[in-house]
Amino acid sequence: MNTPRSQAFSSLPGQSTWKNQMVQSRNTGAPGRVVGVVQDRHGNLIEIFDPPFYRKEFEDAYRFIIDDYPVAPREIGLFLPCAVRKPYSQSPSHKLFRRIIDAVLDPGDYHIVIFGTCGTVPAELEGMYPYANYHYMLGKTTDTRIRRDFHRIEVHRLKGYLEKTRDTYRRRLAYCIGPFRAAMVEASEETGIAVDLLPSDPMIERLYDIDCPFPEGSLSMQGYIDEFREGLARLARSLAGSGTRTGTGPR
């Protein structure tokens, strides 16, 4: 009989202490003060908060993931950047990414991990506080100190997750550009744990537009998406060729 996800989480080691901390944090309101408002492509207004990576709620949740949360073995760890829309899986970009992933890979072969200003979060935990309760856009930030701090903090958190899952995945692929990509590159180098990166550097250079507010563009751009699909197909072929499976079925 399947155990409801909320009950499964509550039975994890350390979950009760972590849950109490999160309840106390929730009682203080949203994780950060509103510093601006942006409009999405559908005309919906979204409040933007302070940088989440400074806040205790995010460090507490990260420590729970690293210290207590069991990550089941999978052939592939897929690292996707966080999104402004919550939950991440319901954002337009993640819906697109997941359609492509599901069309190419067997659900039992991969595990999605969200990373970026949220820290490093197994996708199945996207509904937990504080991950579903903040909005932030690093790309809108011009403060060099905040950008520098983000890089330092995210490299640390990625290193922790990569080390925790060193033997959990056989292959790792990160689909990312900009500051998120820079953090992943450094974390991979410092841990010695290989992470394949998409889109490729030549594709990023080809689509780079210095006159745009975000010169590297969006991961939903067709050139990037085509490379993502092709990269996933190569992974699928490599798994088929190896004849090895570590997955235990769909998450």
Can you give the chain as a three-state secondary structure string? CCCCHHHHHHCCCCHHHHHHHHHHHHCCCCCCCEEEEEECCCCCEEEEECCHHHCHHHHHHHHHHHHCCCCCCEEEEEEEECCCCCCHHHCHHHHHHHHHHHHHCCHHHEEEEEEECCEEEEHHHCCCCCCCCCCCCHHHCCCHHHHHHHHHHHHHHHHHHHHHCCCCEEEEEEECCHHHHHHHHHHHHHHCCCCEEECCHHHHHHHCCCCCCCCCCCCCCHHHHHHHHHHHHHHHHHHHHHCCCCCCCCC
For residue 115, being part of any structural domain is answered with yes
Q: How far is CA 40 from the centre of its chain?
A: 20
Residues in the chain: 251
For residue 216, being part of any structural domain is answered with yes
For residue 176, being part of any structural domain is answered with yes
Q: How far is CA 187 from the centre of its chain?
A: 14
For residue 247, being part of any structural domain is answered with no
Q: Residue 137: give the domain boundaries.
A: 5-242
The rounded distance, in Å, linking the Cα atoms of 108 and 105 is 8
Q: Could you tell me the two tokens for 138?
A: 């690093």
The pLDDT assigned to 25 comes to 42
The pLDDT assigned to 240 comes to 84
CATH code, domain carrying 110: 3.40.50.10630
The pLDDT assigned to 206 comes to 96
Count of domains in the chain? 1
Residue carrying the six token digits 């997955």: 247
For residue 164, being part of any structural domain is answered with yes
The rounded distance, in Å, linking the Cα atoms of 125 and 114 is 9
The pLDDT assigned to 98 comes to 98
Q: Could you tell me the two tokens for 67?
A: 């210290």
Per-residue pLDDT of the chain (251 residues; tens, 9 = 90+): 333 333 334 444 445 444 444 444 444 444 555 445 445 555 554 444 578 888 888 999 999 999 999 999 999 999 999 998 889 999 999 999 999 999 999 999 999 999 998 999 999 999 998 898 777 777 777 788 999 999 999 999 999 999 999 999 999 999 999 999 999 999 999 999 999 999 999 999 999 998 787 889 999 999 999 999 999 999 999 888 776 555 544 33
The pLDDT assigned to 132 comes to 85
For residue 250, being part of any structural domain is answered with no
The pLDDT assigned to 222 comes to 97
Which has the closest alpha carbon to 175: 122, 214, 124, 229? 229
The pLDDT assigned to 243 comes to 67
Global pTM value: 0.80
For residue 219, being part of any structural domain is answered with yes
The pLDDT assigned to 45 comes to 40
Please, what is the end-to-end C-alpha distance for the chain in angstroms? 15
For residue 249, being part of any structural domain is answered with no
The pLDDT assigned to 126 comes to 96
